[in-house]
């Protein structure tokens, strides 16, 4: 999964910035100084000319220092802006992207899938019994459950291809790049297993599980609005919760078929 940028910049990158500044402004600074030294070494030079060159050289050094300070300030402000932007789109508890980041990135994901003629699937996840955990053990233990699910999502998904977002409370969305319904159902089952394993060490009496709804989009078909796509997955998730099936595939949208020939819809267990 993608990691948000941090305020601390790697030392190597900082050194490269410093070297770039020296290469850019070094000649501008050194030229007047070298000329000043040259004139000071000439016999018979007018003292007033020497004084003027000395003042000019010092002025160049002061100007270079001020430019350097502005350069440093600009870099600091740029890093702060990046950090603030990351904080605005990152869930503090888990480090996952939040709802805002999902809507910022999902259009790009759909465009990338269309360019590569690849499907893209979305998983809507709700943690079963989470309210009871909060009521019985307190919100601190509830936070541990949320963090356990984030770890499970990292285990169950492909790094660099799949992205997990926390939508708020105990609701999560996973976007699986290049994944058809069969692969999405496999990821969903793997996620449920990983979540049970991660939560096993929390010492909760009640069993821990999650309900997952899946919806798939294929490129080359009538584009489905993002909100409609998410609503299909959300409706499938509620079917999975009511039926206790755990994982449910959303039916195709009314205006077209969301599947390739031979691809199933309905309970995920119907898939090979």
Answer whether 122's CB lies under 8 Å from 175's CB. Answer: yes
Spatial separation of the C-alpha atoms in residues 52 and 206, rounded to whole Å: 84
Residue listed under structure tokens 């509620």 = 238
Q: Is residue 21 located within the same domain as residue 102? A: no
Q: Which one-letter DSSP state was computed for residue 41?
A: H
Q: Is residue 116 located within the same domain as residue 37? A: no
What pLDDT band is residue 268 in, cutting at 50, 70 and 90?
Answer: low
Q: Is residue 166 located within the same domain as residue 40? A: no
Q: Is 196 helix (H, G, I), strand (E, B) or coil?
A: helix
Annotation says 234 is catalytic = no
Count of structural domains within the chain: 2
Spatial separation of the C-alpha atoms in residues 136 and 140, rounded to whole Å: 11
What pairing do the DSSP bridges indicate for beta strands 266-267 and 120-128?
unpaired
> For the whole model, what pTM was predicted?
0.67
Overall size of the chain counted in residues: 272
> Which pLDDT tens digit goes with each residue over 1-43?
444 444 344 556 666 566 665 566 666 666 666 666 665 565 5
> Which pLDDT tens digit goes with each residue over 198-237?
998 888 887 789 999 999 988 777 668 899 999 999 999 9
Q: Is residue 42 located within the same domain as residue 140? A: no
- With vertex at residue 155, the alpha carbon angle to CA 113 and CA 177, rounded to the nearest 5 degrees, is 0
| pLDDT (0 to 100) of residue 207 | 74
Q: Is residue 104 located within the same domain as residue 237? A: yes
Q: Is residue 145 located within the same domain as residue 206? A: yes
> In 10 A of CB 44, how many CB atoms?
4
Catalytic residue among 91, 128, 162, 170: 170
Spatial separation of the C-alpha atoms in residues 148 and 198, rounded to whole Å: 5
Q: Is 243 helix (H, G, I), strand (E, B) or coil?
A: helix
Domain that holds residue 39: 11-88
């Amino acid at each position: 999964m993608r990691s948000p940028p941090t305020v601390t910049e790697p030392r190597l990158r900082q050194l490269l910035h410093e070297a770039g500044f020296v290469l850019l402004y070094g000649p501008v600074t050194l030229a007047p100084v070298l000329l000043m030294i040259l004139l000071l070494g000439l016999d018979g030079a007018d003292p007033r000319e020497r004084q003027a060159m000395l003042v000019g050289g010092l002025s160049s050094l002061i100007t270079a220092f001020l430019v350097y300070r502005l350069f440093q300030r600009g870099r600091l402000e740029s890093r702060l802006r990046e950090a603030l932007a990351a904080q605005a789109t990152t869930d503090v508890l888990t480090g996952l992207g939040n709802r805002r980041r999902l809507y910022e990135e999902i259009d790009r994901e759909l465009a990338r899938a269309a360019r590569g003629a690849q499907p893209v699937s979305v998983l809507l996840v709700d943690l079963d019994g989470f309210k009871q955990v909060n009521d019985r053990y307190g919100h601190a233990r509830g936070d541990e459950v949320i963090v356990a699910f984030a770890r499970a999502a990292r285990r169950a998904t492909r790094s660099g291809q799949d992205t997990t977002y926390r939508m708020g409370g105990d609701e999560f969305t996973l976007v699986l790049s290049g994944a058809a319904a069969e692969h999405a159902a496999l990821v969903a089952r793997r996620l449920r297993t990983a979540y049970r394993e991660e939560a096993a060490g929390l010492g909760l009496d009640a069993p821990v599980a999650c309900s997952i709804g899946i919806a798939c989009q294929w490129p080359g078909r009538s584009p489905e609005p993002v909100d409609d796509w998410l609503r299909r997955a959300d409706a499938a998730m509620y079917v999975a919760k009511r039926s206790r099936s755990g994982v449910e595939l959303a039916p195709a949208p009314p205006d077209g078929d969301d599947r390739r020939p031979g691809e199933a819809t309905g309970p995920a267990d119907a898939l090979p």
